[in-house]
Homo-oligomer: A and B are copies of this chain.
């Protein structure tokens, strides 16, 4: 009877657990959810039934009533090129995954490439399938933050948001690396080894990380020549183009701060092809400390390390905290310090 009633069609339900334990569904539910206020004898009976039946709660049913999904969405909007070449996202995901796993939450990964994807993602988020959102690499036109905000979904942004007013919006939680400070570290190092004409290759200037790195450069070289600044796009080809340009504009440069390791690898090639020795003639400092690049250029790249995984973890923690006590003292955004890693290129 017991079996025939419960076992049909597959997974055991709370009902069948209750029946087997000889208690009501309500009591079984209490035990499954921590067991507060249930006498030990009963609790143990229920636990045994759970174990015997291999009961696993049906999340859909639970979600339906609690309105909690135990899942958060990770939205990544990034042009193809970068998503592929950088281990950046893998590290982020790893950090997020670890933190989420610890809290027994799941990660729904949403990648956006075009307009239609953004719509689809908007629709998905409207569906209320996730409790919160982690947003990455926002570009100015990205509609997702707006959507998320409108839906009242708690969210945390990776990287300083760049749109007007973002800075002062206390609701806007973000985690960023200290791009500006890192850039200063880099330039300072170039200076400390005696470089006088220090150029920089920036990332695309519609991203705050690029802007902040450039600002850090300018902090130390406030009256630097604009000829010493070239704009790249975080790709190796971009690094090549920018370095070529710099070299033709200022053949006398003796140091370059490149805003990403990938671009730096391109820049070093150009320098060597042009007969410049690195670091003797031109010293190069990168940014990111992507192991698979920085440790493998020739010469090995001196660069600014950012703790990417840590960033993912922090974002997740911030979000989870917000979820767990919604109106508590709003935590504030976090800037993670960066670190100069000196190798051979400078």
Chain A residues near B (Cβ < 8 Å):
11, 54, 56-61, 63-64, 69, 71, 74, 80, 83-87, 89-91, 93-94, 97-98, 101, 104, 106-111, 113, 117, 120, 123-124, 126-129, 236, 262, 265, 269, 291-293, 295-296, 298
Contacts and interface: CB of A to CB of B under 8 A. Distances in A.
B89 A90 contact: yes
Given A84-B90, A108-B106, A296-B236, A126 B60 contact: no
Contacts of A292: 84-85, 236, 262, 292-293
Nearest to A113: B98
Contacts of A265: 296
A57 B56 CA distance: 25
A107 to B, nearest CB: 5
Dominant secondary structure at the A interface: helix
A60 to B, nearest CB: 4
Contact of A127 (B57, B85, B108): B57
Contacts of A89: 90
Contact of A11 (B80, B85, B107, B128): B128
A89 to B, nearest CB: 6
Given A87-B84, A93-B109, A108-B108, A236 B56 contact: no
A239 B58 CA distance: 47
Contacts of A113: 98
- With most chain B CB atoms within 10 A of its CB, the pick from A71, A83, A292 is A292
A77 to B, nearest CB: 12
B85 A291 contact: yes
